[in-house]
Amino acid sequence: MAACDTCVVRNRAICAGLANDELAALNNIGRRRNLEPGEPLIWEGDESVLVANVIEGVLKLSSSTEDGREQIVGVVYPSDFIGRPFAGAAGHSVTALTEARVCVFARADFDRFASEHPKLEHKLLERTLGELDRTRKWMLLLSRKTAQEKVATFLLEMSDRLLETGCEGPTLGPLRKFDLPFSRQQVADVLGLTIETVSRQMTALKRDGIIGLPTRRSVEIVDRTALEDIAG
């Protein structure tokens, strides 16, 4: 139980509703794994042999096009669940964007445990529905919003998710400051824009006093109301 007792996401992860004896049983079939930036955890199309809870760090979900280009299709944060329980093959690759720590389970062991514990299955369903809602919102962003609206929405989403999971950097008064786990090129890939367009939009937001850019990766939201207005 030591690993579960000291887990910083225990109260927010899918195992939050389990009793102590159930947590002990789950802990017995899991192991901790540290990942370096760029290190893959799951490969798209491979047999789905493991699932995991994110404890620390940020990871990306990506798929490859027929000509080999990568498309980032999602991002996971601490307390998020990754992998495909009850599935035969992985639908996308999972790669660490930052240093990360995950609690890994063999999929067969996890499937068996989940089948025997309805509370865990219920949490999995909740997470799946929440992910479906986020995916629908993202489809709207990609298909209908302008470049300016896309960048503003992306920054608000990152701010909210990083704050929600306790990964955000220092905050002063109404300001929010955080480090993006993405390069500008990756932001462009996520939003379906060019890197030049992303850079222009970020520069314009800085010029208008809506955000600050202390470094290339750091973002400070100076006027959140104005950013929300732009995002629509």
Quote the pLDDT of residue 168: 46
Q: Tell which of 114, 139, 164 closes a domain.
A: 139
**Does the model's pTM come out above 0.85?**
no
Quote the pLDDT of residue 164: 52
Quote the pLDDT of residue 92: 86
Q: Are residues 86 and 154 in the same domain?
A: no
Quote the pLDDT of residue 141: 67
Q: Are residues 20 and 128 in the same domain?
A: yes
Quote the pLDDT of residue 95: 93
Domain span including residue 214: 145-231
Bridge partners (DSSP) of residue 92 are: none
Bridge partners (DSSP) of residue 218 are: 179
Quote the pLDDT of residue 204: 96
Give the CA distances from residue 187 to residues 9, 43, 63, 89, 215, in Å, rounded to whole numbers and listed in that order: 27, 21, 15, 27, 16
- Taking the CA of residue 232 as centre, how many other CA atoms within 13 Å lie in the half-sphere pointing to its CB? 12
Domain count, the chain: 2
Q: Are residues 11 and 76 in the same domain?
A: yes
d(CA 88, CA 41): 16
CATH number at residue 15: 2.60.120.10
Tens-binned pLDDT, residue by residue, of the chain (232 aa): 456 777 888 788 888 878 888 888 888 898 999 999 999 999 988 888 899 999 998 898 888 877 877 778 888 888 888 888 887 788 889 999 889 999 999 999 988 988 888 888 878 887 777 777 777 776 776 677 899 999 998 899 888 877 655 444 444 434 488 888 888 888 888 888 899 999 999 999 999 999 999 988 889 999 999 999 999 8
Quote the pLDDT of residue 174: 40
Q: Are residues 113 and 191 in the same domain?
A: no
CATH number at residue 197: 1.10.10.10
Q: Are residues 64 and 159 in the same domain?
A: no
Q: What stretch of H or E contains 162?
A: helix 147-164
> Is 61 within 8 Å of 70 (Cβ atoms)?
no
Q: Are residues 29 and 82 in the same domain?
A: yes
